Structure 1
Amino acid sequence: MAEHRWKSTLYSSDLYVEACGAIVFDMAAMPSSKKKVCLLHLTKTGEWVLPKGRRNCHETRQEAARREVREESGYGIALLPLTLATRAPSATEPHDVKDVARVYDDVVEPFMLDVRDLGKKGVKLVWWFVAELEPDGLDGKGKGEDQFRAEWLDARDALMRLTFQKDRDVLLRAVELVECMGNGLRHVTNGVSI
C-alpha cells in the first residue's frame, strides 16, 4: 500500500477538541490612535488571556466564538467581516478551483488557527475571529464567569500584558487586519497581497 505524500495524523473524535475565540475591539474607541481590546485576567493564576472556549456539539464556529466571549467576558460581540487571504474557495467558484490563497472582501471566517498538541490527549484546535463590541454589548458590564475579570486595554498595552506569546501573535495579526479595514489599505502578508 502506498504512503500518502503528506505527513498526516488521524485523530478520533475523543482525541480532539475544537475551541473558538475572538479578538474583541471597542470600535467606538477606534477613531483615536489607541485601539482598545478585551483581555481576560484569570483571577486564580494571574494569567492574561484572550477570550475563547470549547465549541459545543451542533454549534457553528461563529456561534461558539460569540457565546464563549459573552460567557467569559460578559460582553456581546459581532464578528467582523475582513479582507482576508484564504485557501477556502468562494461559493461561486467551480469545484476544481486551484488550491491557492486568494483575497476576498467581507469574509467572516477565522483569521488564525492554533493547533495545540495535548500529548496523549490528542490535539486542541483553536479558531480565532476578529470581533467588535456590540452597541448594546456593555449591558453585561463585563460580568462574565467568576474565574475571569474582563479588562479593556490599549492594544499595545494588551500585547505586553498577555501571558502567552501565541496570544500575542494572534492579537498582533488581528490588529494588522483591523488597521487595514480602517485605512482601506491593502498590504502584502506571507507573499499574498491583502
Structure 2
Amino acid sequence: MNSPATVIAAGGVVWRERGGTRQVLLVHRPRYDDWSLPKGKLNAHEHVLLGARREIEEETGHRVVFGPPLGVQRYAVRKNGGTAEKLVHYWSAVPVGKSDFEPNDEVDEVSWLSVDKARGKLSYPRDVDILDALEHAVPVAATVVVVRHADALKRKDWDGKDTLRPLTDTGTAVAERLSGVLGALGANRLISSDAERCVATVTPYAASIDRHVHLWPEISERGYDADPDRLRGLGERVWRPGKVTVVCSHRPVLPALLRELGLKVGKFSTGAFLVAHRLADGRVVHERFSAP
C-alpha cells in the first residue's frame, strides 16, 4: 500500500511593534485546546504564498503581507488510515488594516503577546523554534522580486516585432495569479522591460494597486544585446529602501541582472520569480518560486 501523500501547509508569525515591544499573534484552537501560530493546508493547486495569506486571514481576521521566510516544519500526521509527512512553510507576516476576527469552531480566540510571553504560551516546541527565527529575519530594509515574464507566443509563431510578442492564454492566466502573489508580498514599485510580454506579466497587479509600471529598455533582450554595460549601477536604482520592488525581465538578461543585484544566479522557467530581502544588518535572504 502506498503511503499517503505529503500534506503541504503554510502560515506565518504575525507581528507588530507596540510601545517599543514586539508582539506576535497566537491562535487558540478549541478542537485541540492548544495555542499555535496561524497556519493551514493549501487548497489544490494553490500557490504556497497565497495559501499562507488565506489561512492567516481565515484564522486571525488579519490580512497580511509577507517578509522573509522563517523555516519549514516537518512532522508526521495521521491521514487516510496511515501516517503522512506534513510540511509547514512559515514567513514573517505584518498585518495591514484592521482585523475582522470572529470566534468560530476552528479558532475561538486570538491573542497579541510579547515574544517572551508567546514563547511560554505556545503549545509546541516546533512553533517556538519558528518564533525564535523571527528575531534574525526582521527588520527588512528593502525587498526585490525578480520575475521572468510569463509564457509568450513562440518567435516562429509571431510575425510582428519581437518587442510586441504577446503572452499566450497560459501566460495571461499566470500573470493574473501572479497579481495575488505580489499583493501578498506587498509589492509597491514595478519595473519592467519595455517588451510587451514583460509589461503584460505585471500589468494585472499594477492595475490592482493603481500603480505605474516603469519601463527600463536596458533590461530588455534588445537593450541588453545592444549594450550590456548599461546594467552597471542598476542595483543601486533597484534596491530602494522601504520599498518592495518588482523587476520583470527575460531569460538571457537575468543572469547579468541578478549579478548586478548581488543575488545568486539560477535558472528561471517562464513566470518563475525570486524574492530577496535585504535585512537591516546588511544580510540578504532569498527564496525562489515557480510560476503561480
Alignment TM class, shorter chain as reference:
0.5 to 0.7
Question: Is the partner of 2:138 in helix, strand or coil?
Answer: helix
The answer to whether residue 114 in structure 2 is matched with residue 154 in structure 1 is yes
Higher helix proportion (structure 1 or 2): 2
Give the number of the structure whose alpha-carbon radius of gyration is greater.
Answer: 2
Deviation at 1:48, TM superposition (A): 0.8
Task: Give per-residue Cα distances to partners, 1:12-62, cap 9 Å, x unaligned.
Answer: 7x42110001100125x2xx4310111001235431100000000121000
- Please give the residue correspondences for 1:135-174 in structure 2 after superposition, counting only pairs within 5 Å: 136-138=97-99, 140=100, 142-143=101-102, 145-148=104-107, 149-174=109-134
Match in the other structure for 2:62: 75
Match in the other structure for 1:132: 94
Normalization by structure 1: what TM-score? 0.65
- Please give the residue correspondences for 1:95-106 in structure 2 after superposition, counting only pairs within 5 Å: none
- Among residues 43, 48, 54, which one is paired with 2:35 in the alignment? 48
Q: What CA distance in whole angstroms lies between the structure 2 residues aligned with 1:44 and 1:16? A: 23
Which structure is richer in relative contact order (CA contacts within 8 A, separation 6 or more)? Answer: 1
Match in the other structure for 2:8: 18
**Does the 8 Å contact 2:138/2:280 carry over to 1?**
no
Unaligned runs of 5+ in 1: 1-10, 83-109, 188-194
Q: Which moved more, 1:60-69 or 1:111-120?
A: 111-120
Equivalent AA in structure 1 for residue 62 of structure 2: Y
Could you say if the C-alpha distance between residues 186 and 160 of structure 1 is closer, same or farther in structure 2, counting changes exceeding 3 Å? farther
Question: Is the partner of 1:15 in helix, strand or coil?
Answer: coil
Match in the other structure for 1:105: none
RMSD: 2.7
Equivalent AA in structure 1 for residue 16 of structure 2: D
Question: Is the partner of 2:137 in helix, strand or coil?
Answer: helix
Normalization by structure 2: what TM-score? 0.44
Question: Is the partner of 2:59 in helix, strand or coil?
Answer: helix
Task: Give per-residue Cα distances to partners, 1:80-130, cap 9 Å, x unaligned.
Answer: 2x3xxxxxxxxxxxxxxxxxxxxxxxxxxx331111123732211111111
Identity score, percent:
27
Question: Is the partner of 1:166 in helix, strand or coil?
Answer: helix
Equivalent AA in structure 1 for residue 13 of structure 2: I
Unaligned runs of 5+ in 2: 142-241, 243-278, 284-292
Task: Give per-residue Cα distances to partners, 1:55-88, cap 9 Å, x unaligned.
Answer: 00121000000000111111111112x3xxxxxx
The count of aligned residue pairs is 144
**Does the 8 Å contact 1:73/1:145 carry over to 2?**
no
**Does the 8 Å contact 1:70/1:144 carry over to 2?**
no
Deviation at 1:144, TM superposition (A): 5.3
